[in-house]
Amino acid sequence: MPKRRARGLTGRIALLHSVAHIELNAIDLAFDLVGRFSSELGPNANEFVTDWLKIGAEEAKHFLLVQNCLVGLGAAYGDLPAHDGLWEAAQNTSSDLLARLAVVPMVLEARGLDVTPAMIERFRKQGDEAAVAALETIFRDEIGHVEAGTKWFRRLCQRQQLDPIKAFKQLVEQYFKGSLKPPFNEAARSRAGLLPQFYQNSID
């Protein structure tokens, strides 16, 4: 794997390349939710499909924004190897909608909210305004993605008479390989409706 902490242009390209890879996977993940799970939603299927089609379109916009930044630096998506963590998470949760929502929007996309502000600052310091603008758009939209994931998770728990906090913790322990690592961007997570009770002390 290329060193994302490498300095200068190489490091910026490696970081943007890893973001582009995440966004490309996120397109597939949004449409996979629609195709794989919308039949489970009964009368709510229309709203579910509408939410995730919009999110899929935003992920496509994110990919193009980041790809344009890469091209501006003389690179392109596909130049570097990329890891498969997001797609593995999708495969692991392909038979359980609650697990998918817990792991993808509520753990992985929420993690994006934690790390993106520092990334924005890094590009700002290097004077890369195109990357700053792209990442600011991504950050803003991703709050909506975490919000949609949390909304549907809560609704499905209510339908199945499950405690959402307990269910989330169980599913994360069962389906998510890593641990939930602070520091958390509590302000952004709360704007998305993802309250600290979900992610604090998740091993308890």
Answer whether the bond into residue 183 is a cis peptide, omega within 30°: yes
In degrees, rounded to 5, the angle at the alpha carbon of residue 22 between the alpha carbons of residues 19 and 28 is 145
From the list 12, 14, 52, 59, which residue makes contact with Fe ion (rule: CB under 5 A)? 59
Total residues belonging to the chain? 204
From the list 12, 17, 21, 62, which residue makes contact with Fe ion (rule: CB under 5 A)? 62
CA end-to-end distance (rounded Å), the chain: 34
Site string for Fe ion, 106-125 (x = CB under 5 A): ---x----------------
* Rounded Cα gap, residues 34 and 199, in angstroms: 26
147 contacts Fe ion (rule: CB under 5 A): no
Site string for Fe ion, 68-87 (x = CB under 5 A): --------------------
Phi, then psi, of 79 in degrees rounded to 5? -70, -30
Q: Tell the smallest beta-carbon distance from residue 192 to Fe ion (Å).
A: 11
145 contacts Fe ion (rule: CB under 5 A): yes
Site string for Fe ion, 9-28 (x = CB under 5 A): --------------x--x--
Q: Which is nearer to Fe ion, 107 or 166 (CB)?
A: 107
* Rounded Cα gap, residues 44 and 42, in angstroms: 5
100 contacts Fe ion (rule: CB under 5 A): no
